[in-house]
Structure 1
């Protein structure tokens, strides 16, 4: 198999944990959180932001449509850094060690435009990619095949030269269908092992 020319990271649940239900459970309790998520499709709201809708305006408009849950829905914007936490430190270490060896590192992420700009103020490593491909800025979200094609066209690397990790299997399958090398992310150690197998890092470099 070809040695990858660049490594492509998803962000949510690869570099930062993204489990909004966990935060709401901690604040509201599981039963009240379930009632909120049953009443309001917050993940569909977030998908609209990932597709290009403005972050604050979309969250606040949704909140206004559901007066019983207005404050709690606004937390999606107002407390976003608490929802998108904690950092996955081993993955961040792997990103930095790849870059230290001169391996180009890209992000390919479903993320809002202004949300990503805000996230970069909260997480230093989000400014460290050689290229960041953000769905809201591209006008398309994973796993649509065109988003992978757009990345290829922009970076000039053939599909087989890209190694991509993502926690969502459908995103991995769409990349693999284009000929990308892929890794389904479930834990940073598995990703570390994959980077060693690809001869991009040594065992020592892949350690936490």
Structure 2
């Protein structure tokens, strides 16, 4: 029996990659006049886990890059540009979550995102109309696949792990959830068609 679902965000609810391309980055060089590869090295390189888990502010890292390359609009403008272009909701998943909410299913977002992105999701998208809460690594101080992340979500839901379904596109996270007693579904282009049936108890396959 599934009483609650914890949804990964990027790659499950949000379409962030297509054919191996990050959608937000498609026109980065045209729009900013800066090197995409240079930006990615500076932001996602060494120590980015510190950002993801809230020990470093994303804005400080972006600000350092802006100053280094002379990007006049500044960090806040660039982060706003990035987040808006990274907002690509999966319409099929929107419909599924709305239906599950109408049926009374408890649902939360459980994401490895830093606090600024989590605030964007809460305040500038309509995902919070479909879920009961959002848990992010940047606010919890630890992320998937660490056991503490899953424990925090399970305790907040007040539902035993065995009655929670975790849905993620990263296999290591799915495996970690299963180790902790969760039901878990590995969300991929090949498995996504079975997800609704798994939730309904019509398909016993965990996916992936």
- SS across alignment from 2:27: helix
The answer (yes or no) to whether the contact 1:81–1:119 under 8 Å persists in 2 is: no
Change (3 A) 1:150 1:28: same
Aligned CA RMSD, in angstroms, stands at: 3.0
Answer 1 or 2: which has greater helix percent: 1
Greater relative contact order (Cα < 8 A, sep 6+)? 1
Greater CA drift, 40-49 or 162-171: 40-49
Unaligned runs of 5+ in 2: 203-208
Task: Please give the alpha-carbon distance, in whole angstroms, between the structure 1 residues aligned to 2:80 and 2:200.
Answer: 42
Alignment of 1:5-154 (within 5 A): 5-19=3-17, 21-28=22-29, 32-38=35-41, 40-42=42-44, 47-52=49-54, 53-64=56-67, 67-68=68-69, 70=71, 74=75, 77-154=79-156
Query: How many residues are treated as equivalent by the alignment?
Result: 195
Task: Please give the alpha-carbon distance, in whole angstroms, between the structure 1 residues aligned to 2:127 and 2:100.
Answer: 13
Q: Report Cα offsets for 1:77-136 as digits up to 9, x if no partner.
A: 131233413211111111111111001111111122232112323211135321321211
Please report the TM-score for the alignment, with normalisation by the length of structure 1: 0.78
Task: Please give the alpha-carbon distance, in whole angstroms, between the structure 1 residues aligned to 2:43 and 2:71.
Answer: 13
The answer (yes or no) to whether the contact 1:76–1:83 under 8 Å persists in 2 is: no
Change (3 A) 1:200 1:22: same
- SS across alignment from 1:28: helix
